[in-house]
C-alpha cells in the first residue's frame, strides 16, 4: 500500500507551520523597517540647521552681496533637497548622500545664483526663425536702444508741447513719421496689433455687423482669434463665403443698414492653396466706398520695405496696402517692421479721430519706452539702405547667403578646431523661417552647422545647450543639432563655440 507522503491533516499543519514560519520573517522585515526608520532619523539629524549655516564664513560673505531673504531661501531650499534625497533613498544608499556643511553650502550657492539672476534674460537664438514670438520677436536697433535709455533717464515731453508750454499728445511723436512713410492721412499706435484690432472694431462697429470672409477667421499664435476678438469688441460677426472661396458678391449681399465695417485679415500663418478665390483689398475698398461702409485691413506683419525685391516673400508694403484704398490698416510693430511691441493704426482722419478718443485707447496706450524705440526705428526707414543694415530683423532677413555661409564656416571651423573625439560637424543646406506669422509659406535658403556626437543623443546635446549659460536654442533634424547662423552674430558664434567645448569636455571627463 502506498501512503500519501503525509496525512491531509498534516498538510494543514504544514500550512499553519508556514504561517507561523512567516511571523518571524514579518517581524524581521518590520524590524528592518524599524531599523531603517531609525537610521533615516539619524541621518536627518546630521544635517546642519539654518542657524549653524548662518555662522559659516561663506554664508556671511553671501549676506554682504545678496539680500538676506534670498540667502535664507537658498539655505532652506538646499536643506530641503538633502532631506528629500535622504527620505527617497532610505535603504537604497541614503548613507552615501553628503550631508556635510560644505555640501549643503555648495547646493545653496547654486540656488542662490539662480534666485539672484533675472528671470527675463538674454539667450542665443540659433533656430534661424527671425521673428520668433517666444524668443522676443524683433531685436531693437542700436539707435532705438539708445533712444529708450536717453528718454527714460530723464523727464521728457511725452505729453507736453514745449513750444506752446502746455499739455501735448503722446502720439504726436510718431504720427508725422508714420504718415510720411506710408502716405496715410493719420496714424496712431497702441500696445500691440491685437489691441489695434480690438480698438478699431470697438470704435467703428460696436453693436454693428462686421463682414469678414470665412477664409480669414484666423487664429494667430496662442490667443489671438479673430472671431473672439470681435466678440469682445462688441461687434457682431457676419461671416461670408466659404473657407476656400469668397467672392465680392458675398460681401455685397451681406451689407445692410447695420453694417459697421468690411474687414480683411491677413492669413498670416497659413495659406489656402488650390481651388481658391479671395477678394482683393482694392475691390473691397471700392465696394465699401459705394456703400459708405469703412473698410479695414488687418495686415498682421506690415513691412515698410519691399522685401520681395530682396527675394524675401511676396507681401505688399504698408504703402502699397494703403494705396489699395482701404480706410484703416493695422499691423504689428515687432514683426517685419523690426521695432518694439506695438500695434499701428493707419488711415483716414475721419476714422482715426474717434479711434483715438475712444476711452479704450487710454487702456491700450503705449508707454514712453515703446514710443522712444518706435520713433527711432521709424526714422531709420527714411534711408532704406541704412534701415536694412541697422534694423536687426531686416538685416537677418535680407543678408546674402554668402554672409550666412561665412558665419557657418566660422562656427564649424572653430568647433572642429579642438578635435573632440566622437563629434561630427557638417555644413548643410537648409531653410530658415521668417516667423511671427509673416510670409507663412516663404522659407529662406540658409546654411546650417549640424553637429552630432557618438556618445550623446541629439536630444541630450540640445538640452545641455539650452540649459547652459547663456541658453542656446537650437533645432534638431534627423538626429543632428542645427545652428542656423541667420540669427547669429559673430559674438554669439564665439559663445556657442565656448559652450560646445565646455559641454564636450565635461562629458568626456565624466566618462
Ligand X SMILES: *Cc1c(COP(=O)(O)O)cnc(C)c1O
- Interface residue list for ligand X (CB under 6 A): 192-194, 197, 220, 224, 265-266, 268, 298, 300-301, 332, 343, 437
Among residues 137, 97, 169, which one has the least CA distance to residue 333?
A: 137
Do residues 160 and 172 make contact, with C-beta atoms less than 8 angstroms apart? no
Quick one: 48 or 343, whose CB is closer to ligand X? 343
The 3-state secondary structure of 313-355 reads CCCCEHHHHHHCCCCEEEEECCCCCCCCCCEEEEECHHHHHHH
Quick one: 296 or 394, whose CB is closer to ligand X? 296
Quick one: 86 or 364, whose CB is closer to ligand X? 364
The CB-of-57 to ligand X minimum distance in angstroms stands at: 51
The one-character DSSP state at 93 is T
Quick one: 301 or 446, whose CB is closer to ligand X? 301
Quick one: 86 or 438, whose CB is closer to ligand X? 438
> What gap in Å lies between CA 229 and CA 235, rounded to an integer?
9
The CB-of-131 to ligand X minimum distance in angstroms stands at: 9
Q: Which residues, including other chains, have CB under 8 Å from residue 476's CB and lie 6 or more apart?
A: 458, 459, 462, 482
Q: How many CA atoms lie within 13 A of 225 on its CB side?
A: 8
Do residues 59 and 53 make contact, with C-beta atoms less than 8 angstroms apart? yes
Among residues 432, 440, 442, which one has the least CA distance to residue 219?
A: 440
Residue 20 φ/ψ, nearest 5 degrees: -65, -35
The CB-of-198 to ligand X minimum distance in angstroms stands at: 9
The CB-of-267 to ligand X minimum distance in angstroms stands at: 7
The CB-of-268 to ligand X minimum distance in angstroms stands at: 3
The CB-of-361 to ligand X minimum distance in angstroms stands at: 16
The CB-of-221 to ligand X minimum distance in angstroms stands at: 7
> What gap in Å lies between CA 475 and CA 496, rounded to an integer?
14
Quick one: 241 or 302, whose CB is closer to ligand X? 302
Quick one: 300 or 338, whose CB is closer to ligand X? 300
Quick one: 288 or 437, whose CB is closer to ligand X? 437
DSSP H or E segment with residue 371: helix 368-380
Quick one: 112 or 305, whose CB is closer to ligand X? 305
Do residues 199 and 228 make contact, with C-beta atoms less than 8 angstroms apart? no
Q: In 101-206, which ranges are E strands?
A: 124-125, 160-161, 166-167, 186-190
The CB-of-145 to ligand X minimum distance in angstroms stands at: 20
> What gap in Å lies between CA 334 and CA 332, rounded to an integer?
6
- Return the SS3 of 132: strand
The CB-of-194 to ligand X minimum distance in angstroms stands at: 3
DSSP 246-280: --HHHHHHH--TTEEEEEEE--TT----SS-B---
Amino acid at each position: 500500500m502506498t501512503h500519501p507522503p503525509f496525512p491531509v491533516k498534516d498538510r494543514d499543519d504544514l500550512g499553519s507551520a508556514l504561517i507561523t514560519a512567516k511571523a518571524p520573517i514579518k517581524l524581521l522585515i518590520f524590524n528592518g523597517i524599524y531599523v531603517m526608520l531609525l537610521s533615516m532619523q539619524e541621518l536627518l539629524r546630521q544635517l546642519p540647521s539654518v542657524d549653524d549655516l548662518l555662522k559659516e564664513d561663506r554664508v556671511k560673505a553671501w549676506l554682504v552681496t545678496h539680500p538676506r531673504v534670498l540667502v535664507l531661501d537658498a539655505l532652506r531650499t538646499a536643506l530641503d533637497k538633502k532631506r528629500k534625497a535622504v527620505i527617497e533613498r532610505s535603504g537604497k544608499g541614503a548613507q552615501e548622500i553628503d550631508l556635510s556643511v560644505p555640501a549643503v553650502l555648495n547646493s545653496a550657492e547654486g540656488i542662490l545664483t539662480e534666485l539672484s539672476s533675472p528671470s527675463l534674460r538674454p539667450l542665443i537664438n540659433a533656430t534661424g526663425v527671425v521673428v520668433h514670438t517666444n524668443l522676443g520677436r524683433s531685436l531693437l536697433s542700436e539707435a532705438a536702444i539708445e533712444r529708450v535709455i536717453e528718454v527714460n533717464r530723464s523727464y521728457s515731453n511725452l505729453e507736453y508741447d514745449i513750444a506752446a508750454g502746455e499739455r501735448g499728445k503722446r502720439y504726436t511723436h510718431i504720427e508725422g513719421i508714420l504718415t510720411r512713410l506710408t502716405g496715410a492721412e493719420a496714424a496712431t499706435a497702441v500696445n500691440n496689433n491685437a489691441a489695434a484690432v480690438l480698438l478699431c472694431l470697438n470704435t467703428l462697429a460696436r453693436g454693428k455687423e462686421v463682414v469678414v470672409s470665412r477664409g480669414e477667421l484666423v487664429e494667430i499664435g496662442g490667443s489671438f482669434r479673430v472671431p473672439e476678438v470681435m466678440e469682445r469688441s462688441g461687434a457682431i460677426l457676419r461671416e461670408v463665403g466659404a473657407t476656400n472661396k469668397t467672392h465680392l458678391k458675398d460681401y455685397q449681399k451681406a451689407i445692410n443698414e447695420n453694417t459697421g465695417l468690411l474687414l480683411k485679415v491677413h492669413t498670416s500663418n497659413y495659406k489656402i492653396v488650390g481651388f481658391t478665390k479671395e477678394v482683393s483689398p482694392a475691390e473691397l475698398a471700392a465696394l465699401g466706398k459705394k456703400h459708405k461702409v469703412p473698410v479695414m485691413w488687418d495686415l498682421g506683419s506690415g513691412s515698410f520695405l519691399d522685401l520681395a525685391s530682396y527675394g524675401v516673400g511676396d507681401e505688399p508694403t504698408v504703402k502699397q496696402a494703403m494705396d489699395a484704398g482701404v480706410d484703416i490698416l493695422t499691423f504689428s510693430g515687432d514683426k517685419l517692421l523690426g521695432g518694439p511691441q506695438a500695434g499701428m493704426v493707419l488711415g483716414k482722419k475721419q476714422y482715426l479721430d474717434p479711434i483715438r478718443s475712444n476711452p479704450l485707447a487710454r487702456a491700450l496706450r503705449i508707454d514712453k519706452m515703446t514710443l522712444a524705440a518706435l520713433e527711432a526705428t521709424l526714422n531709420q526707414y527714411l534711408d532704406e539702405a541704412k534701415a536694412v543694415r541697422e534694423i536687426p530683423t531686416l538685416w537677418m532677413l535680407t543678408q546674402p547667403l554668402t554672409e550666412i555661409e561665412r558665419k557657418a564656416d566660422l562656427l564649424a571651423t572653430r568647433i572642429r578646431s579642438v578635435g573632440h573625439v566622437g563629434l561630427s560637424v557638417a555644413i548643410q543646406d537648409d531653410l530658415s523661417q521668417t516667423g511671427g506669422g509673416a510670409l507663412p509659406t516663404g522659407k529662406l535658403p540658409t546654411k546650417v552647422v549640424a553637429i552630432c556626437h557618438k556618445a550623446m543623443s541629439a536630444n541630450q546635446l540640445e538640452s545641455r545647450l539650452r540649459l547652459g549659460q547663456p541658453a542656446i536654442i537650437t533645432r534638431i533634424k534627423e538626429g543632428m543639432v542645427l545652428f542656423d547662423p541667420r540669427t547669429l552674430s559673430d559674438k554669439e558664434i564665439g559663445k556657442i563655440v565656448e559652450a560646445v567645448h565646455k559641454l564636450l569636455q565635461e562629458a568626456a571627463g565624466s566618462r
